[in-house]
Structure 1
């Protein structure tokens, strides 16, 4: 991540100052309105949070104070140009198009903004067209971009400053969501003292990698749940050797893996060994700070070698699926009832529903595995990775904020009219594409609200539409547990898995998540070398000490040069 703390602090100061001036000049002094007063500089003002009130800030009640800017609707119609990426082969209802569908009509009706779509594309075609548009400065009025593109546009002076329009138009719910990140999301969208984008908000629960274990097999074999890495090893060994499925055959698998298992992605992935790496204090694939405070590449650190050594021992002992690196359907060993351990995120209910359909007696439970000092380490997802931006000179930059407010209200379902939308229709058909805007701790908030409602502490009717749906399904499932797995999987992640998210953790962000000049030329080869070496070590094709040669080659073949660039990039914004 090219950290921008200093620029972010300056931008946030500017936003706060602009908000204060706007409040002094444009407000009649009333703080009791139920409308969405954009002049309210607090994170949600005097209104309860959406998770507490059950309704959040509704666009239908906006514009409460006379003379105040309406955060949800421009006073006059505005046409905005855009282009975007769409999901390949995503279906639309008959008669709808990419440019004219329920989402574009909703936005036009709510905001007075109509979008003229210059072009759309998917996958690599989109990437190529986007790069060409940036290079030629052939940009639309508004678009959603990733972090490297955002930085490139910011450095080239191609983006409009949104500092003042954000202060004037940001809705209470929008500010409340950013407050849940301690405004770190807004910091990421800041460049040299200016707010140049409206950042998305990553749900931090998605970073937590859990060790999922078949509790029914533990009980059958008289084993206790894992509390250490060694416990995971003992359990996997028992699952392989002691016929936990009782079929009299040596056909069970200790734990699963995948072709991308030997890394520690910020966002937890299925069948990835992130929990094991983190238990060794290793973060392969990430730029982190070492014990001296220097930014280093996690894959070349001794902790990564130690973790690879442990995984190598497990593979040689038959505890890891022998086909993990080549298996096309990595879920199959779990769903078929053959695997006893997999690693994955809190939202594993979908795969578990498939598993329970085939094996009604199966019962997976999630656990967290600490390091040698008893600490749970957790590499967090970047607080923001996508940004709504406006091109330099856009006539109505406030449209970017009004659009974001309205999109957020729809995505979070705090606008009653949004409940009429069919959210099964692909979200890339929103006018400028899709990005997640939610509380950074959204899962924990919803889990707490659900638990209180189920305990009778909160009236169900006071819940947000999202949590009310979870509550209704939980009540249905309680009457007949797991009889309808579609109902069960919809709310299960907000129960036991969400409780684990509240565990005290050693949380850290990656220090650098974009690219450098030399990365563009040499990273592909370095990454290939890393992947080949790691897999050969774990699968026994090379000795563990091959790691040392990999480190030496990585450094000499461009790694040292890249490390220097990364450190300079981070230092330049401190």
Structure 2
């Protein structure tokens, strides 16, 4: 579909920011009666003046368990929200996983919509083009809380820009943590120390470590059963988001940014999987696989986590949050396993990262919904509840926080770095623990429990370890951050993208596994361009003008 030009977006966002600047805290003082005009009632960004019903749908965990007497529609969080905001959420239906996705897509196609819905960017723009969603500009201008505005402003208003079409705010966007971009090499530190090896800085360092892990029996069981580096059987590199066990870190270290549309050094629009640097990265992974440094079964292995959890692998690529999964289970299996993350540089010592889009989820209101302000008030409330909860908020059992209605992640883009710094200062005695946010105080307490009895409860270990060491591998690094310039869809992408992605995946795997020569990459690029890639590039360039 056709996105509006940036000038229109900028005008819309500038207008909203001007109004925000004129009203610092959005809790407006009542206007005095003048010239016969009645006084206006003050606006409370956290509570509507009268009760409002909002029909929603909800994705829930397949193994969801609630306190006795609670339901998905009527539970401690929905009741708390209704009491505090005057918003009563009415559940049309709920589902899990693929069932949810299928049901909500059918609802959109048949226009059988709830009053509010959270969708991805492609769906958001399609619904806007189809006239299915309501303009939220006035609701945002009137009701957005100072806290919500502050978070959006921290993105340089790029989040609001992504949700603005034709100068109108057509959705409330989430904010994606930038730390989710970075692909880290997680390495068994205890094995490094046992073999007298230094931590890796570059790709060749990691290859040497993998070789040593395979050949020198780091687990001491007397068997040649150790895997160097794990792999992912569905993708070599996952694009802007860092997936588990893929080789995005290798691509980035060689200046390649696969899976995204970005500007190259000359300012030209390119698809990152088709560049000469991408070919170099594939050559490197092919070289490692041929040398036996990568799990020889990776293309067939259904779950590479099992190698990490079972203590057979010494290296895998993953995000800062890997201590939750798979390392939580790995520590449960072997509390003595010591995993440390490393950001790998290129040959010149420069770090590169394929960055996540600023927003990926969009809260929309059905066209004609009479109370779009309810969406803003609810987002204000949820954001305050999760970031700066009141004493009443703190009384709720956070085990069931996923039951917050219309939960959209809003936080600073660099929130992971901030939380790392906060926790580190507290652990070093530079910040009193009672000055921590409720979330980080919880992680501080968990870490103290783990220090006193490491491994007794892996749940105590994962989160504080992720913020200390996963985030710690990122904080303070000067990184060449390459952002995607286009994350939506075009007419040709609707028809051709699935086939182009299949061509990419199959070719890359065949080259790495030695089933095709490295130069098959050049044929892939030619075919990719002729089968729709060039047309898509032209469409994107037209959208970006």
Partner residue, 1:221: 195
Q: Is residue 429 of structure 2 the alignment partner of residue 470 of structure 1?
A: no
Partner residue, 1:333: 307
Partner residue, 1:399: 374
Aligned in 2, Cα 1:430/1:467: closer, same or farther, shift over 3 Å? closer
CA distance in 2, matches of 1:190, 1:290: 26
Aligned in 2, Cα 1:298/1:75: closer, same or farther, shift over 3 Å? same
Of 500, 506, 512, which aligns to 1:538?
512
Q: Is residue 426 of structure 2 the alignment partner of residue 453 of structure 1?
A: yes
Of 369, 376, 379, which aligns to 2:351?
376
CA distance in 1, matches of 2:117, 2:5: 22
Aligned in 2, Cα 1:534/1:163: closer, same or farther, shift over 3 Å? same
CA distance in 2, matches of 1:116, 1:495: 40
Alignment of structure 1 residues 54-203 onto 2, 5 Å: 67-88=41-62, 90-203=64-177
CA contact (8 A) 2:183 2:249 kept: yes
CA distance in 1, matches of 2:63, 2:221: 43
- How many angstroms does 1:7 deviate by? 3.5
What whole-Å deviation, never above 9, does each CA across 1:135-172 have from its counterpart, x for those lacking one? 45443322212111211222334332222322221122
Partner residue, 2:34: none
CA contact (8 A) 2:148 2:383 kept: yes
CA distance in 2, matches of 1:480, 1:139: 51
Deviates more, 1:287-296 or 1:481-490: 481-490
What whole-Å deviation, never above 9, does each CA across 1:35-72 have from its counterpart, x for those lacking one? xxxxxxxxxxxxxxxxxxxxxxxxxxxxxxx9531111
Unaligned runs of 5+ in 1: 30-65
CA distance in 1, matches of 2:453, 2:63: 38
- How many angstroms does 1:342 deviate by? 0.7
Partner residue, 1:8: 9
Alignment of structure 1 residues 405-416 onto 2, 5 Å: 405-412=380-387, 414-416=389-391
CA distance in 2, matches of 1:394, 1:263: 41
Partner residue, 1:363: 338
- How many angstroms does 1:267 deviate by? 1.9
SS of equivalent to 2:211: helix
CA contact (8 A) 1:8 1:190 kept: yes
Partner residue, 1:418: 393
SS of equivalent to 1:213: strand
Aligned in 2, Cα 1:519/1:27: closer, same or farther, shift over 3 Å? closer
SS of equivalent to 1:494: helix
Partner residue, 1:385: 360
SS of equivalent to 1:424: helix
CA contact (8 A) 1:82 1:141 kept: yes
Of 508, 517, 520, which aligns to 2:482?
508
What whole-Å deviation, never above 9, does each CA across 1:53-99 have from its counterpart, x for those lacking one? xxxxxxxxxxxxx9531111111111122334444453334433332
CA contact (8 A) 1:201 1:383 kept: yes
Aligned in 2, Cα 1:458/1:125: closer, same or farther, shift over 3 Å? closer
What whole-Å deviation, never above 9, does each CA across 1:365-387 have from its counterpart, x for those lacking one? 11111122321111111111111
CA contact (8 A) 1:255 1:342 kept: yes
Aligned in 2, Cα 1:349/1:3: closer, same or farther, shift over 3 Å? farther
CA contact (8 A) 1:256 1:324 kept: yes
CA contact (8 A) 1:286 1:298 kept: yes
Aligned in 2, Cα 1:70/1:91: closer, same or farther, shift over 3 Å? same
**Aligned-residue CA RMSD (Å):** 2.5
Of 545, 551, 554, which aligns to 2:528?
554
Alignment of structure 1 residues 29-40 onto 2, 5 Å: none
CA contact (8 A) 2:180 2:241 kept: yes
CA distance in 1, matches of 2:4, 2:413: 19
Q: Is residue 495 of structure 2 the alignment partner of residue 521 of structure 1?
A: yes
CA distance in 2, matches of 1:449, 1:375: 27
CA distance in 1, matches of 2:73, 2:449: 39
SS of equivalent to 2:362: strand
CA distance in 2, matches of 1:399, 1:242: 62
SS of equivalent to 1:425: helix
CA distance in 1, matches of 2:66, 2:43: 35
Deviates more, 1:401-410 or 1:151-160: 151-160
What whole-Å deviation, never above 9, does each CA across 1:253-279 have from its counterpart, x for those lacking one? 111111134013322122111111101
Aligned in 2, Cα 1:358/1:23: closer, same or farther, shift over 3 Å? closer
CA distance in 2, matches of 1:20, 1:181: 17
SS of equivalent to 1:79: strand
CA distance in 2, matches of 1:221, 1:458: 37
CA distance in 2, matches of 1:205, 1:291: 23
Partner residue, 1:45: none
Aligned in 2, Cα 1:436/1:557: closer, same or farther, shift over 3 Å? same
CA contact (8 A) 2:243 2:319 kept: yes
SS of equivalent to 1:495: helix
Aligned in 2, Cα 1:381/1:344: closer, same or farther, shift over 3 Å? same
SS of equivalent to 2:400: coil
Aligned in 2, Cα 1:321/1:96: closer, same or farther, shift over 3 Å? same
CA contact (8 A) 1:10 1:194 kept: no
Partner residue, 1:494: 467
Aligned in 2, Cα 1:24/1:338: closer, same or farther, shift over 3 Å? closer
Instruction: Provide TM-score, normalisation by structure 2.
Output: 0.91
What whole-Å deviation, never above 9, does each CA across 1:429-469 have from its counterpart, x for those lacking one? 4334x432222111111111112222222222122111111
What whole-Å deviation, never above 9, does each CA across 1:23-42 have from its counterpart, x for those lacking one? 6998559xxxxxxxxxxxxx
Aligned in 2, Cα 1:241/1:72: closer, same or farther, shift over 3 Å? same
